[in-house]
Amino acid sequence: MSAKKTIGIVGARGHVGTELIKLVCGHPSFDLAYVSSRERAGRRVSDFEPAYVGELRYSAPTHEDLPTLGADAVVLALPNGKAAACVAAFDFADDADPVILDLSADFRFDAAWYYGLPELTRQHQAGQRRISNPGCYATAMQLAIAPMLEFLDGPVQCFGVSGYSGAGTTPSDKNDPEKLRDNFMPYALTGHVHEREVSAHLRHPVEFMPHVAPHFRGLTITANLHLRTAFDREAVAARYRDAYAGEPLVRVGDDAPWVSRIAGAHHVELGGFTLSEDGHRLVVVATEDNLLKGAATQALQNLNLAFGFDEFAGIPLAPRAEAA
């Protein structure tokens, strides 16, 4: 395998940054160059992440400092709206051209950036150095819808429920365990950024209704697809199995997957295929760990591809247990 590449993480204190540090630490060809966090500046990374063995400390570089730090790839793990200033610093630097991977929504609609959902877009990946990582819900929705895309008749409705880690670390009602106790909180019921993201990249309208629940990690979406051609369950299941037959991070089963079983897993599970009596309405269920395949694991896939490594290097692949 090629010489090791170095990864800088900007915004490493958040949930996704934490998961990415763990994955990079277990990768055979990546090393951490730096991890930035204003709140933890000066503290050892190993104090917070036992997976890291070394003397690296969190730092708080300015945007202008970032191009001087020498990482082969820079991951921006920042809230929406914060990535552009970091990217501009690299645009203005004459001698720094790292791979830049943005975990926020800031460049997901920018045609100049590669949209990195490898199972659906890797054919466009070659040579891309600006990568936009898809949203967590958007990943699950697209994988749930894509095998039936050519047969859709009208908008797809997706009902989503996520653990409160999806709301980030900035305190709000949506990540307050006390307010979520015995509760189920709807939000952004029209126009959610992932609704727009999926509609744009599938080139088909999707209507998304997200909710947050009391559990910490893992999401589920139930997708309601109207079909212009009648299908039976066997034919639908066969289409999904054929579509993802060679994909280690997509598992297709018969039963509807449970969100409680996806926490800590690096793949998406699809199943629960249910059809109306006339065969023109299909319901599909998808589950995913929002911090892993919904963010950090997918980022590692994209970084592997960007450097020509095996796409799944450093990703723990659980044994398959799907139905035949």
Q: Per residue of the chain (324 residues), what is the pLDDT tens digit?
A: 458 999 999 998 889 999 999 999 999 999 999 999 999 999 999 999 888 988 999 999 999 999 999 999 999 999 999 999 999 999 998 788 999 999 999 999 999 999 999 999 999 999 999 999 999 999 999 999 999 999 999 999 999 999 998 877 677 788 888 888 899 999 999 999 999 999 999 999 999 999 999 999 999 999 999 999 999 999 999 999 999 999 999 999 999 999 999 999 999 999 999 999 999 999 999 999 999 999 999 999 999 999 999 999 999 987 665 443
Q: In 3D, which of 202, 218, 230, 211 has the Cα closest to residue 145? A: 202
Q: 141 and 285: one domain?
A: yes
Predicted structure pTM score: 0.95
Residue 311, in any domain of the structure: no
Q: How far is CA 42 from the centre of its chain?
A: 29
Q: 66 and 144: one domain?
A: no
Which CATH number is 301's domain given?
3.40.50.720
Residue 36 per-residue DSSP state: E
Q: 158 and 121: one domain?
A: no
Q: 217 and 116: one domain?
A: no
Q: 284 and 187: one domain?
A: yes
Q: 96 and 236: one domain?
A: no
Residue 2 has what pLDDT?
52
Residue 94, in any domain of the structure: yes
CB–CB of 321/157 below 8 Å?
A: no
Tally of structural domains, the chain: 2
Q: Is 158 a catalytic residue?
A: no
Which CATH number is 152's domain given?
3.30.360.10
Residue 30, in any domain of the structure: yes
- Domain range holding 42? 5-133+294-306
Q: How far is CA 101 from CA 251, 295, 298, 316, in A?
A: 26, 11, 11, 21
| Residue among 25, 86, 136, 158 flagged as catalytic | 136
Residue 313, in any domain of the structure: no
Residue 323 has what pLDDT?
40
Residue 322 has what pLDDT?
45
Residue 94 has what pLDDT?
79
Residue 208 per-residue DSSP state: E
Residue 141 has what pLDDT?
98
